[in-house]
Structure formats: C-alpha cells, structure tokens
Amino acid sequence: MKKIINFFIIVFLFSQSSLVAQQHKTEKPGDAISPYWFVMLKKGTTRSQDSTSAAKIQEGHMANINRLYNEGQLKVAGPFGDDADWLGIFIFDAAATGCQTKDDVEKLLKTDPAVAAGRLTYEIHPWWTSPTGSFKHGKPVKE
C-alpha cells in the first residue's frame, strides 16, 4: 500500500512540475516577468593584438559597457574569474533597447570594440525575470 501511495505522490508531483514548465514556455511577458537578452561573451578568434592594441580595445570595451549601462540598456556585465572560453556576460533589457530579435541584439553587440576587433564573440539567448532590483526597466537611478 505504501508503494502505491508513493507512486501516486511521485506521479502527482511530476505532473505538477510539467504543468508549471509548460506554463512558463507559453506565458507572455507581463507585469510578473519581462524579456531580457542573456549574452555569453566568449574568446574570439582574433586575440593576437599587441599589448598596446589590446589595452586600447579593452578601454573601448569598458567605455561601451558604461555607455550602455547609463542608457539603461545593459543591466549586468562582468567577467568570469577563470581562464576559460567563457569570458563574461551581458544582460540587456529588451524593453529599454527595443531589441526584439537576436539580430537586434547583434547590432548592439557590434558597437563593442572587443567584438568588432574579434577579441570577443558571443552567444545570445532570450531570458526572462521579474523587473525588480537591478532589472527595473530604464536608466539607473543616480544616488
């Protein structure tokens, strides 16, 4: 009897988790969740610049990050702490950027000198979260 009850509990829990997963796939972004773009920055194919050129590209990369952040388009940016192929991430606010497609995001990424120089490449993925804290829409509030 105990095995039968456990079986029905497992079936019930599985069916509920499948329902929640299906609802998330079909749910339209609204007040509860909003669309963003998650960008994985990876090592590009052109990383042979001399140290002076690489430093100048990095300076432009940082300036571009600051510009995009201050415009309210970029919510998160930062490097990873190891020396792997994944170098860092960007999370763009789809509502603030007007980026509705991956092509739109790609145009925005090409404004980055490190991407333009081939030092960085990227993967783009749609991502949703609640628009609170760092993910509030619009420009950051200066304190």
Give first-to-last CA distance, the chain, whole Å.
63
Indicate the pairing of strand 34-43 with strand 86-93: antiparallel
How far apart CA 133 and CA 79 sit, in angstroms, is: 21
How far apart CA 134 and CA 143 sit, in angstroms, is: 14
**Polymer length of the chain:** 143
Q: For 27-72, how does the pLDDT look when each residue is reduced to its tens digit (9 = 90+)?
A: 554 456 889 999 999 999 999 999 999 999 999 999 999 999 999 8
Q: For 85-131, how does the pLDDT look when each residue is reduced to its tens digit (9 = 90+)?
A: 999 999 999 988 888 899 999 999 999 999 999 999 999 999 998 88
- Residue whose token pair is 């490190």: 114
* Fold classified for 29-135: Alpha-Beta Plaits (3.30.70)
